Structure 1
Amino acid sequence: MSRGVVFAVYFIAIFLQAGAYGLTFMLPRLFDSFGANEKVVGAMLAVTTVATLLAVYFSGHLSDLVGRLRTLGAACIAISASLFLYATVDTVGAGLVLASLLLGLGWGLTYSLGPIVLTRLVRADERVRFFTLLTVFVMAGFGLSPVLASTLEGMGYGVRAAFYATAVLCLIGSALFFMLHTPVRANAINPRPELPSRITLAALRGVLTSPALLPVFMVFLGASVFAGLNNFQTVFADARGLDYATFFLTYTITVVGCRLVLARFRGGRNPYLTIAMLQSAMCLSIVVFIFSGGNLPLYLAVAILFGVGYGVSYPILVAMAAADAPEDLGAQTLQIFALTYFIGIFGFPLVAGWMIVELGTRPLLTLIAVMAVVEASLALRRALARRPG
């Protein structure tokens, strides 16, 4: 299998499994069908958080034993099982908890190991480009699965049909990952055996005392902002008389388009300054959303600004985490980066769900706007510290 074909198959597999996370945006709608509110959504995503953190921590141990591609294949099977469970449960109970656990285990493994596989295939000067392409396929899966759900609902099939369909796609992705085990080894840039990926206390200490600590913390803030706006977008849209599919489709087109156009962009001479500017646009999008009400043009503007701000800054931040990492701890740094990302992605909805039920949506949007300001400020501070002279 040629190097080009390896990349094509790998990115297709990434796209097929990424839709599973996009369906977490549909959980408020799914849970409402059997009488559960946003608090329950947050609680189940908190269960997912615990499983995800365990999966990320042990992903290096597992991949050292069986190989990274085989681990990715097994993870997709776990994700598929979780989606089948979500599609069949009709009450809050053990089935829902098991589905949340399986989703966390599977998604934690796929997300943390995905970039590490790429580092095996690309040179250091190609990382931003290929990390950007990776996030294009991830984001396409994220954003299009809610659109699929909306389409199936419009056809009269209901939201559960989207969970069944995406579960099948994850199984196809699993088969592709298993198929790539030998070709990836054959096309590796460095033929030497893979360095150990497992996270140890010494590795953790090494990462957290390095310059990589900043992007590791920043991704937590960004993930929390992303989860706050996206996981409950169906709630926001329904309250304002808007179609949530409009937001997700506009956001996805914006992110995919920008990342494809900027695939070779490395962040400029001062990447952290670029990140700060982009995250300022992300903050502006949330402020506009707070006051936009049911205005459709402003709703589209929010999706575009958020897509440009968060969507373009994220792959640059991933690349900066890899660049700021100690030379012998690249794999561990990316796993810890994924760990903090998941704390925000799956942990923050617990807070967000409680705030929606007890306080309403505006206090939640205000909180995530403040978090966006803090993240942009941290990037600006690092940018000014690194400016020559």
Structure 2
Amino acid sequence: MARPPEADAPLEHSGGGSGHNISPLDHRRSAIFIRPSGLTMRPFSSLFVLIGTLLAAGGYGATFFLSMHFRSLGGSDLDTGLALAAATLGTLVGVLLVGWFAQRIGAARTMALAALCIGFGVAGFALIERISPFSLFPGFLVGLGWGAFCLAAPMSLTERTSNADRGSWFMRFGTVQMAGVGGCPAVAAFAIHSLRWPLTSVLYVIGGLCAVAALLLETFGRISPRSRATPASPVQKRWLREIGAIFRTRAAYPIAMISLCACVFSGLMTFQMSLVQGTGLQAGTFFSVYAVTVVVARWLLARVVIRLHREIATKVLLVMMLLGVAAVSAVPYNAMFHPASAILLGTGYGLVYPTIQTQAVNDSAEMHQPAALTWFVVAYFIGTFGFPAIGGWVLVHMGPHALVALIAACGLAALTLAILQDRHGVKSLSKA
């Protein structure tokens, strides 16, 4: 993921955007995305969506064990990369299909089906007994489910929350989602190393928990019906055609940045077991510290980051993420750099995701904001599932040091784009 789609979708325009003059017609077009202010979500019904999200996110977290799984079958990290490349294709299909399904069966039920799809994919990996072209199909299913889930989830929350309380619900949702992404591999590592569970059994259990998540999310949709005033799908069908309008604005920078940040996240998480091999350290420690850090950082520091100047906060968090990559390269010299890397990654990446997601939306014209959000999610998936295909080849043919250098290069590229984004803003102001 992951944020992963880590899905803190800020769908409201909060001022300070790109300086576009919004016409009354544009306001009427965007008004369909605004909820009546009196709607609030009941705490009881929210338990179903939050627990369901935690379990479904664990299905994506299970992909961090693919490296271990394919090596046990006689394969290598190249096979891991290919399986996640198939997941990349699946996410793109999921993004394209989610609007169609949400309009017909509702966003909540679409989210439930997506969780079920993730579970089938995870269980499919457990069924693989030898490396073959069929190994790619479970990866496609996981990607299809995760792609649909990360778009259907914010749709479902948008349908059931008011403008006033939507931000807090998105933060809760995103925190639980990231806890599932990092917490599942931590618990799974404990089951494998301490309880001596075989990895295939762990994958079956995670797949079953995704099925439980689907039931919880379906229940959520039934006991918390959406308002009739809100359309079933806020994702415009024209999002592919709106790419030109979006990428002519400053929104292009955060969209590109999240893809690079996702490369850093997926590189360190997917190949964590290979990176610590021979050091005596456990990948489960990294996953545990990362999950705890993300939850604590989002609950305690999110408001601080929001109060800071957004461009400054972005660069500070990206530097922290880069320091996390640097700490990984120092792990062979001191074991303390291992948890330090998880803390830096959890704080930097965990907080920079919602920060630059807000930039992507606010720097777009109001009528293009849903399309900008969709492109942001697509860019995240390309980095999350696409990078392991390249990283696996680098790891096998050039070694772990080359992989860490490649991950660091992605982080540096994201920081460079953040600096260029500021200069673009200054130029735009001078021209105005």
TM > 0.5: yes
Map Cα deviations across residues 39-77 of structure 1 (whole Å, 9 max, x no partner).
111011111111111111222222223221111111111
* 1:157 maps to which of 197, 201, 207: 197
| Partner of residue 191, structure 1 | 229
| Partner of residue 216, structure 2 | 176
**1:152 shift after superposition:** 1.6
Separation in structure 1 between the aligned mates of residue 314 and residue 259 of structure 2, nearest angstrom: 15
Greater displacement, 15-24 / 93-102: 93-102
Separation in structure 2 between the aligned mates of residue 142 and residue 310 of structure 1, nearest angstrom: 13
Decide whether the 8 Å contact of 1:61 with 1:197 is kept in 2.
Answer: no
Change (3 A) 1:192 1:68: closer
Change (3 A) 1:151 1:288: closer
Separation in structure 1 between the aligned mates of residue 253 and residue 336 of structure 2, nearest angstrom: 36
Q: CA RMSD in A?
A: 2.3
How many pairs does the alignment contain?
387
| Partner of residue 246, structure 2 | 207
| Partner of residue 348, structure 1 | 387
**1:385 shift after superposition:** 5.5
Determine what percentage of the aligned residue pairs are the same residue.
Answer: 29
Separation in structure 2 between the aligned mates of residue 254 and residue 277 of structure 1, nearest angstrom: 17
Map Cα deviations across residues 145-188 of structure 1 (whole Å, 9 max, x no partner).
111221221212122222111111111111122122244444x5
Change (3 A) 1:37 1:64: same
| Partner of residue 219, structure 1 | 258
Map Cα deviations across residues 110-144 of structure 1 (whole Å, 9 max, x no partner).
01222233333445565554333222111111111
Q: What's the secondary structure of 2:278's corresponding residue?
A: helix
The AA in structure 1 aligned to 2:290 is Y
**1:384 shift after superposition:** 5.8
Decide whether the 8 Å contact of 1:73 with 1:174 is kept in 2.
Answer: yes
The two structures have a TM-score, normalised by structure 1, of 0.92
Greater displacement, 194-203 / 214-223: 194-203
* 1:21 maps to which of 60, 66, 70: 60
Separation in structure 1 between the aligned mates of residue 248 and residue 424 of structure 2, nearest angstrom: 17
Map Cα deviations across residues 193-251 of structure 1 (whole Å, 9 max, x no partner).
34552442433334333432222111100001111111000111123221111111111
* 1:359 maps to which of 371, 378, 398: 398
Separation in structure 1 between the aligned mates of residue 74 and residue 44 of structure 2, nearest angstrom: 47
| Partner of residue 137, structure 2 | 98
Change (3 A) 1:205 1:199: farther
The yes-or-no answer on 1:5 pairing with 2:44 is: yes
Greater displacement, 157-166 / 93-102: 93-102
| Partner of residue 110, structure 1 | 149
Decide whether the 8 Å contact of 2:250 with 2:424 is kept in 1.
Answer: no
Equivalences for 1:1-389 in 2 at 5 Å? 3-124=42-163, 126=165, 128-153=167-192, 154-186=194-226, 188=227, 191-194=229-232, 196-200=234-238, 201-265=240-304, 267-293=306-332, 295-383=334-422
The AA in structure 2 aligned to 1:233 is Q
Decide whether the 8 Å contact of 1:128 with 1:266 is kept in 2.
Answer: no
**1:386 shift after superposition:** 5.0
Map Cα deviations across residues 298-351 of structure 1 (whole Å, 9 max, x no partner).
111111111111111112222222323332343332222111111111110010
Separation in structure 1 between the aligned mates of residue 290 and residue 41 of structure 2, nearest angstrom: 33
Change (3 A) 1:381 1:208: closer
**1:296 shift after superposition:** 1.7
The AA in structure 2 aligned to 1:168 is G
Change (3 A) 1:8 1:209: farther
Decide whether the 8 Å contact of 2:317 with 2:348 is kept in 1.
Answer: yes
**1:273 shift after superposition:** 1.4
Decide whether the 8 Å contact of 2:122 with 2:138 is kept in 1.
Answer: yes
Decide whether the 8 Å contact of 1:115 with 1:131 is kept in 2.
Answer: yes
Q: What's the secondary structure of 1:292's corresponding residue?
A: coil
The AA in structure 2 aligned to 1:70 is R
Decide whether the 8 Å contact of 2:82 with 2:136 is kept in 1.
Answer: no
Separation in structure 1 between the aligned mates of residue 195 and residue 333 of structure 2, nearest angstrom: 25
Separation in structure 1 between the aligned mates of residue 358 and residue 307 of structure 2, nearest angstrom: 12
| Partner of residue 34, structure 2 | none
Q: What's the secondary structure of 1:238's corresponding residue?
A: coil
**1:256 shift after superposition:** 0.7
**1:371 shift after superposition:** 1.4
Decide whether the 8 Å contact of 1:77 with 1:171 is kept in 2.
Answer: yes
**1:269 shift after superposition:** 4.4
| Partner of residue 6, structure 2 | none
Separation in structure 1 between the aligned mates of residue 236 and residue 223 of structure 2, nearest angstrom: 23
Change (3 A) 1:333 1:127: farther
